[in-house]
Amino acid sequence: MLSITERLCPVRATVGQRTLVMGVLNATPDSFYDGGRYATLDAALARAEQMLAEGADIVDIGGESTRPGAAPVPEEEEIRRVIPLIEAVAIRFPEAVISVDTTKSRVAQIALQAGACIVNDISGATFDPHMLEVVAQSGALIVLMHIKGTPQTMQQNPTYEDVVAEVKATLRAHAQRALDAGIPPEHIWLDPGIGFGKTVQHNLELLRGLPKLKSLGLPILIGTSRKSFIGHILGGLPPDERLEGTLATLALAVAWGADIVRVHDVKEAVRAVRVADALCRG
């Protein structure tokens, strides 16, 4: 079994050189249209294999739906959903870099023992007081995302005086807390949290304001994939019709300094960011 430090090598060597693609793998029961646990695990493993073959640098495995208004998932249920899949992916694909999408320190701790090396925390490590110590003592990398409120409340009339300035100040504070907890700067990525307590206009301002977030000096992850602001701009298109709009956001996010993009459509995203990288990074 590789250590967390060894598992992190490929991302540490490439981040900042080219745009990394994080593929979304949902371990929620509705995601693979199936009641039986083994069939579900098999379908999810097949999807992981496909994403890796399509060029995903990271596979992001989550068991809690963080869509607006979604009910929280109890810790034991999240563990039942996520840990067998992380273990299976880590064993079948020993080179895969796995992140766990969770806000719970116990889920993170078990996931890191099962083969994950990145914790993707949509709360910026604010929902669980033990998250930063778990990440610090394991040697894992953490993604600290901005959210206004909770997934239950975030879309209830979010307001900001200056969304870019407020998100930047919060992300700076999140990073400082992580540093104070003993996490090295090379193990901290920041994310403005597109769609998490933001209106369509806020999301657009945040993407346009990416160069200002870059001045925090840490890698920036952007998650726009299939999100509702894209459907809104395109006259109300449903999630499965938002690929082209997503690719437009990726190209500009790369131009404005995104280092990692989190996407559902790996093949298309890899092609888009490779071309954007060639244009932007020479």
Write out the residues near ligand YH5 by the rule CB under 6 A. Answer: 66-67, 101, 120, 122, 143, 145, 191, 193-195, 221, 223, 225-228, 239, 262
Residues identified as active-site: 227, 262
Cα separation, 104 vs 210, in Å, equals 28
Q: Which tokens belong to 109?
A: 């701790």
Question: Least distance (Å) from ligand YH5 to the CB of residue 88?
Answer: 21
Question: Least distance (Å) from ligand YH5 to the CB of residue 82?
Answer: 13
Residue 115 or 124 with smaller CB distance to ligand YH5? 124
Q: Which residues contact 59 (CB under 8 A, 6 or more apart)?
A: 22, 23, 25, 48, 51, 52, 89, 96, 97, 98, 99
267-272: long-range contacts, CB 8 A cutoff, minimum separation 24: 267/54, 267/55, 268/243, 269/21, 269/225, 270/21, 270/54, 270/55, 270/56, 272/247
Residue appearing with tokens 């280092």? 259
DSSP 8-class letter at 73: P
Residue 110 or 230 with smaller CB distance to ligand YH5? 230
Residue appearing with tokens 């404005």? 256
Cα separation, 97 vs 117, in Å, equals 7
Question: Least distance (Å) from ligand YH5 to the CB of residue 123?
Answer: 10
- Other CB atoms within 10 A of residue 93 CB: 16
Cα separation, 235 vs 230, in Å, equals 9
Question: Least distance (Å) from ligand YH5 to the CB of residue 145?
Answer: 5
Residue 42 or 205 with smaller CB distance to ligand YH5? 205
Cα separation, 197 vs 16, in Å, equals 28
Q: Which residue is nearest to ligand YH5 (CB)?
A: 223
Question: Least distance (Å) from ligand YH5 to the CB of residue 138?
Answer: 18
Question: Least distance (Å) from ligand YH5 to the CB of residue 122?
Answer: 5
Interior/surface letters 15-52, b for 16+ CB within 10 angstroms, e for the rest: beebbbbbbbbbbbeebbeeeeeeebbeebbebbeebb
Which amino acid is residue 244, in one-letter code?
E
